[in-house]
A and B are shown apart, each in its own frame.
Chain A
């Protein structure tokens, strides 16, 4: 069951990612990105990280991508013109991508013992609640980084307000 979910939504995520690159209209690309994020959420859930899945849907596909869509709609971005592409890019791009893929998979496979493994859906039946664990860690050992991050985000919001203020 979990394997079926993984296959379906893994393939869906990859296909939507390719579609993101292939589409010429920015709105269609943004919608493909939403599909990628939703399938990632399903993958997180099938790995037993249900809180992460919900946060992924609410924050990324629910809030951030809506802002993306807003910007694209308001800028009235039209379809892109398809060019033939540069030869250098295709000459270096494909081998480069293949090389990065190989290096990454080599690194993950060789360091597998140190990274730790998880079985698909192993925690789905488990009694441990994600949220309890995450909140416990966030409010004990990771309290300082957590608060510093929230101050960082606050600074970003204030910066946006200051920048927008000049225009008013």
Chain B
């Protein structure tokens, strides 16, 4: 492209990448809902959605249409601007954090230096994800307060306190991985685990099993999912989004599932070698040619993320809900000390080795 300056090509390619990733993420969100309902159904010995389309595959479409066409009720006494702003904050924060995730192996397009499988390769990618997550808390806080209802206020305080508490354990559990890789760039962290396939993944070869479990538990609490789903414990208490209806409710709903996908992506990248194959470079002489070498890592990545999503659903179908004081005690008195001990052990091991 000789008649475009470097900045213009960069801008165009980035816009294309953003649009593609956006569409794929939203589709994935819709079908994660279907996946959850199907699997939950099978685990509870029933069919799950099966009427719309073959095997119920068009169910997300029907749900979307239903939510769009519902009447958008807004109580009279709400803080209008904040009431509208809250779901927007929740959803946009959930969608933005996917932008630093590398989906495949680094592949530069032509001479432009633009990576095909990552929207933005930042040297503080991990911190960006943590920062966006912590800003996303405002969506919940504001939604509960602006609805002018004391039950939503309590619900939002509960969820916000939960998210802030578990954010600590979440951040600390990642430090071991960061120390091993010596970088906060997600691309570098993935590359640091790529030498011997499965054996050099952080969870196996990197001895970050403890970090991985702390991360997974904290991430489940962070996304307000079972067994920590006090935010929307339908049968027992009232959550923060009680006053929302139609599209605004759908935005909270989509934000939850988008957060699930992001968390699964981060778990894949940090502990399971990202887009790397579990066999390392064993079969490179077969697949290292042409388009297969580009597509195969993406497939590995998607398969791992899919596995984590199934784990989410499995946990939801199996484990009972925590009580609130148990949840807080677990986060502060168990997870955080364990995460700190993990940091200490990893640091001592690294100092001993190197």
Contacts and interface: CB of A to CB of B under 8 A. Distances in A.
Are A and B physically bound partners? Answer: yes
Given A51-B127, A131-B124, A131-B184, A66 B160 contact: yes
B82 interface: yes
Contact of B153 (A55, A63, A73): A73
A73 B130 contact: no
Contacts of B160: 66, 70
B138 A54 contact: no
B7 interface: yes
Given A34-B138, A50-B123, A27 B82 contact: yes
Interface of B is mostly: helix
Interface in A55-110: 55, 57-58, 61-63, 66, 69-70, 73-74
Contacts of B295: none
B4 to A, nearest CB: 16
Contact of B131 (A34, A57, A66, A129): A57
A54 B127 CA distance: 6
B128 A54 contact: yes
A63 B164 contact: yes
Contacts, number: 60
B137 interface: yes
Interface in B120-178: 122-124, 127-128, 130-132, 134-135, 137-138, 141-142, 145, 153, 157, 160, 164, 167
Contact of A57 (B123, B134, B153): B134
A3 interface: no
A168 B293 CA distance: 63
Interface string A1-41: 10000000000000000000000000100010010001000
B-side interface size class: 20 to 34
A61 B132 CA distance: 10
Nearest to B144: A73
B82 A129 contact: no
B345 to A, nearest CB: 19
A102 B127 CA distance: 38
Contacts of B141: 66, 69-70, 73
Contacts of A51: 124, 127
A27 B82 CA distance: 10
A61 B93 CA distance: 14
Contacts of A70: 141, 157, 160
Interface string A109-132: 000000000000000000001110
Contacts of A34: 138
Interface in A122-156: 129-131
Given A50-B124, A55-B127, A66-B134, 10 more contacts: A50-B123, A54-B131, A57-B134, A58-B134, A61-B134, A61-B135, A62-B167, A66-B141, A129-B123, A131-B184
Closest 3 CB pairs of A and B: A62-B134, A54-B127, A57-B131
8 contacts: A27-B145, A50-B123, A51-B127, A54-B124, A54-B127, A57-B135, A62-B167, A73-B141
